[in-house]
């Protein structure tokens, strides 16, 4: 095959004329003398639509998944002395938001097949100080929500899902946004839908929790007949009016975008099915949020590392990849706090082996064939 460029692009969804027009209309309206960037009615419209899409009673839009997690940690009252159990195979802020409130995160191991946090391993790590469990629907695959429900039923410990990868993800045919105490979504640029580059939301079926998050995202304000009260110490974590408007157009197309991603990921799995040296993602199909196409280099079978594999794929075949993720405990900030991989041998291995291949909603059949060919060539050249 002829060498071609297949970059790992930083735009995860698609951005079309209706998105451009939605943003333009808001901005044009503000040019009128009575215009304002005050975000109603778009904020409420987007929150209602997103809650409905994710099967939750309430959605509270915020300006990132990081701030969504932050609000949830604050709403739970996480404080020094507390522990929060999470997965090591995640973006740093899944763990960082609990640490920022003074808690200690406790890493529990992942399931060797789904690569999501394993409820059985979480049980082993629960202490009298555990105040939250924070699983991730990794790459868009729903984690074992029923297993976490059982833990909450037995112990009362609330579960906050990191659903940054999981817009549209389903579990047994149902959206996941109403499960646990709450779920935190991301609309950052490389996610499957974006609100002009940054954005996020908390979804929940717990109306009191929703109200706490709403207060926290807006200075602690409570609106009443007598005006505004400041009921708690809050922040300003709001999105802007054009972002809410684009959120509505992005949401209207996100299932189509995700179907395009699912089809391409399933096709790439098919093209790579005979490659024994790599481990392919499981659960691809209509329930998968299809955010990342993560494969593992099976280092039990080959003598090269995932990093060497990715470097050669790039240098010889111009195929971009990304790493989702190094184990959280390996980041400098977590090292300084004394974190390590004790008790997480599966995550330690998986984090060393993972590579995300460049599959996006507009990736063509020729590009998929090229990626599969380049993967096979690279493995052959590195020594199989
Ligand atoms: C698993 C996970 N959690 C949280 C985040 C943070 O999202 P945001 O950039 O919207 O704060 C990300 C972003 O990449 C993520 O992948």
Strands 354-356 and 294-297: antiparallel
CB 85 within 8 A of CB 239: no
Looking at residue 384, its pLDDT comes to 60
**Residues of the chain below pLDDT 50:** none
CB atoms within 10 A of CB 178: 18
Please give the C-alpha separations between residue 290 and each of 11, 39, 321, 343, 376, in angstroms, as whole numbers.
14, 31, 16, 29, 23
Looking at residue 33, its pLDDT comes to 87
Strands 294-297 and 278-279: antiparallel
Cα(179) to ligand 1 centroid in Å equals: 19
Distance separating alpha carbons of residues 12 and 324, to the nearest angstrom: 14
Cα(200) to ligand 1 centroid in Å equals: 9
Whether residue 240 has a cis bond before it, omega within 30° of 0: no
Looking at residue 362, its pLDDT comes to 97
Tell me 240's DSSP state. P
Query: In this structure, which residue's CA is closest to atom 7 in ligand 1?
Result: 65
Q: Looking at the CA of residue 66, tell me the nearest atom of ligand 1.
A: 11
In short, whether 134's Cβ falls inside 6 Å of ligand 1 is no
* Number of helices (H), then strands (E), in the chain: 12, 14
Q: Which residues contact 127 (CB under 8 A, 6 or more apart)?
A: 83, 106
**In the block, residue with structure tokens 């409570």:** 222
CA quadruple 123, 125, 127, 131: dihedral sign: negative
Q: Edge-to-edge strand order for the sheet containing 294-297?
A: 278-279, 294-297, 354-356
Cα(187) to ligand 1 centroid in Å equals: 9
Distance separating alpha carbons of residues 378 and 362, to the nearest angstrom: 24
Tell me 81's DSSP state. T
**In the block, residue with structure tokens 């096979």:** 376
Looking at residue 266, its pLDDT comes to 98
The CATH architecture of the domain made up of 255-382 is Alpha-Beta Complex (3.90)
Residue 380 backbone dihedrals phi, psi, to 5 degrees: -60, -45
Q: Where are the domains of the chain?
A: 17-248, 255-382
Distance separating alpha carbons of residues 220 and 228, to the nearest angstrom: 10
Distance separating alpha carbons of residues 111 and 43, to the nearest angstrom: 38
User: What six digits make up the tokens of 43?
Assistant: 């904020």
In short, whether 356's Cβ falls inside 6 Å of ligand 1 is no
Q: Which residues contact 51 (CB under 8 A, 6 or more apart)?
A: 57, 58, 59, 177, 203
Q: What is the pLDDT of residues 56-66, one digit of tens each?
A: 999 999 999 99
Cα(225) to ligand 1 centroid in Å equals: 37
Distance separating alpha carbons of residues 262 and 322, to the nearest angstrom: 19
Cα(63) to ligand 1 centroid in Å equals: 11
Distance separating alpha carbons of residues 290 and 257, to the nearest angstrom: 10
Distance separating alpha carbons of residues 303 and 384, to the nearest angstrom: 8
Which CATH number applies to 17-248: 3.30.70.120, 3.90.1200.10, 3.40.50.1980, 3.40.640.10?
3.40.640.10
Please indicate, yes or no, whether the overall pTM of this predicted structure exceeds 0.85. yes
Distance separating alpha carbons of residues 296 and 105, to the nearest angstrom: 26
Distance separating alpha carbons of residues 81 and 89, to the nearest angstrom: 24
């Amino acid at each position: 095959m002829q060498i071609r460029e297949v970059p790992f692009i930083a735009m995860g969804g698609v951005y079309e004329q209706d998105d451009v027009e939605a943003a333009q209309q808001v901005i044009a309206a503000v040019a009128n003398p009575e215009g304002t960037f005050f975000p109603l009615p778009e904020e409420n419209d987007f929150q209602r639509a997103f809650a409905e899409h994710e099967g939750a009673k309430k959605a509270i839009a915020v300006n990132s998944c990081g701030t969504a997690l932050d609000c949830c940690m604050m709403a739970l009252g996480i404080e020094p002395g507390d522990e929060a159990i999470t997965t090591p195979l995640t973006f740093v802020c899944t763990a960082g938001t609990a640490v920022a409130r003074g808690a200690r995160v406790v890493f529990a191991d992942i399931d060797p097949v789904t690569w999501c946090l394993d409820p059985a391993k979480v049980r082993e790590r629960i202490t009298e100080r555990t105040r939250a469990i924070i699983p991730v629907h990794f790459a868009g695959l729903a984690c074992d929500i029923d297993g976490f429900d059982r833990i909450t039923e037995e112990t009362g410990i609330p579960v906050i899902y990191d659903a940054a990868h999981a817009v549209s993800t389903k579990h047994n045919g149902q959206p996941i946004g109403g499960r646990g105490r709450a779920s935190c979504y991301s609309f950052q640029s490389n996610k499957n839908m974006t609100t002009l580059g940054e954005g996020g939301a908390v979804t929940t079926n717990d109306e009191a929790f929703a109200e706490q998050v709403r207060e926290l995202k807006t200075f602690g304000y409570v609106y009443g007949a007598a005006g505004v009260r400041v009921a708690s110490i809050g922040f300003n974590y709001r999105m802007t009016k054009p972002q809410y408007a684009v959120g509505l157009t992005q949401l209207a197309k996100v299932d189509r975008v995700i179907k395009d991603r699912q089809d391409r990921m399933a096709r790439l799995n098919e093209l790579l099915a005979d490659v024994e040296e790599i481990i392919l993602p499981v659960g691809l199909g209509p329930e998968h949020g299809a955010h990342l196409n993560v494969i593992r280099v099976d280092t039990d079978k080959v003598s090269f590392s995932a990093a060497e594999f990715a470097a050669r794929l790039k240098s010889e075949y111009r195929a971009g990849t990304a790493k989702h993720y190094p184990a959280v405990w390996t980041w400098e900030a977590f090292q300084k706090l004394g974190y390590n991989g004790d008790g997480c041998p599966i995550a330690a291995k998986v984090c060393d082996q993972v590579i995300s291949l460049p599959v996006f909603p507009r990736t063509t059949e020729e590009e998929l064939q090229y990626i599969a060919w380049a993967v096979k060539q690279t493995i052959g050249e590195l020594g199989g």
